[in-house]
Amino acid sequence: MHKIGYDVGMMTAGESLGSEVFRVGPVTVSEPAFLAPMSGVTDIGMRRIARRHGAGLVISEMVAADCYVKGEAEALLRAEGEGVDIHVVQLAGRDPHWMGEAARLAEANGASIVDINMGCPAKKVTGGYAGSALMRDLDLALRLIDATVAAVQIPVTLKTRLGWDDRALNAPELARRAEAAGVQMVTIHGRTRCQFYKGRADWSAIRAVRDAIKVPLVANGDCETLDDARAMLDASGADAVMVGRAAVGRPWLVGEIGRGLAGQLAAPPPWGDRRDMAVEHYESLLSQFGVRAGVRHARKHLAAYIEHAGAAVYRPDDRLALLTTDDHRNAMRLLKSLLNEPLLAEAACE
């Protein structure tokens, strides 16, 4: 495992925690906790906030390679990277031609790294022989990797699972072949495809991949706390952790965990900063998707922000109004009110 040791001060966009953890090609990674790519969740607003607050890398939502090249609006939104200094675009597909073309387009549009998705368990993805379905056909998986690596000058990385099911835990073989093909970092979600998100991720099973490759390894799955992150690194031998669902409504959590792994103070930001992040995220969604779609898209994020603040316990009626209103101005008013520190402190004392 690579040594982690650095100091931390006030984080600003593009700042690192100090010394290098590892490199992905020419890209220096200075924080050992990353924000996971999550479809319908890790929009550009969330990624900007997480990166600014110390996430080592933030990865886009999964982008369908052919849709991206054809200029489809949803794919272009998912691949947006404005305001993120190390922009990682995750591509998914089953055709080497489209994967290569999409990688070229991502590089031309400013991507620092292209990540290949071979871990998504969703039926609509695996039914098209993409995502984790590629673990059932390693030859096709390698053709996709070869096409992507050959298409760009920037680093190519890979995210996958332990295998399709418990009878085919072939992540070490795929990772070894991917490294030989030029992949420069591997992320493993500690479940099989057939597990989806059930049960607990098996962090110790990731160690077989550590033994198979020399490039940096990232462990993913059920990382919710600093203690989880420490246990993940110990069990897996990985160089970094990837935080997913636990960061929804807490985009600062990834950097908080990274600081803790460095032996630095790992504490959430003040209430006012949390409120400001929620407001920034909401405004970003309205700008990105338009007011009508943005209000609907934001609801899962707003629900998480107020749940983590404890506001839902004390103001259930306002929570319901926030998550059902179609009036973005009313939603903003309710959001600010629900995340008001003095109000929460007073309610907690009742």
Active-site amino acid positions: 120
| Burial label, 211 (beta-carbon count in 10 A; 0-12, 13-18, 19+) | exposed
Task: Report how far apart, in Å, the C-alpha atoms of 79 and of each of 62, 64, 67 are.
Answer: 8, 10, 11
* Cβ atoms of 179 and 134 closer than 8 Å: no
Tokens for 204, please give them.
């110790």
What gap in Å lies between CA 173 and CA 158, rounded to an integer?
Answer: 13
Tokens for 26, please give them.
């020419």
User: DSSP 3-state assignment of 72?
Assistant: coil
Angle, CA 11 vertex, CA 9 and CA 14 arms, to 5°: 130
Place of tokens 């209000």: 295
State the alpha helices, DSSP H only, in 8-64. Answer: 44-52
Tokens for 348, please give them.
């907690």
Tokens for 294, please give them.
């943005």
What gap in Å lies between CA 336 and CA 278, rounded to an integer?
Answer: 9
Place of tokens 């110790």: 204
User: DSSP 3-state assignment of 168?
Assistant: coil
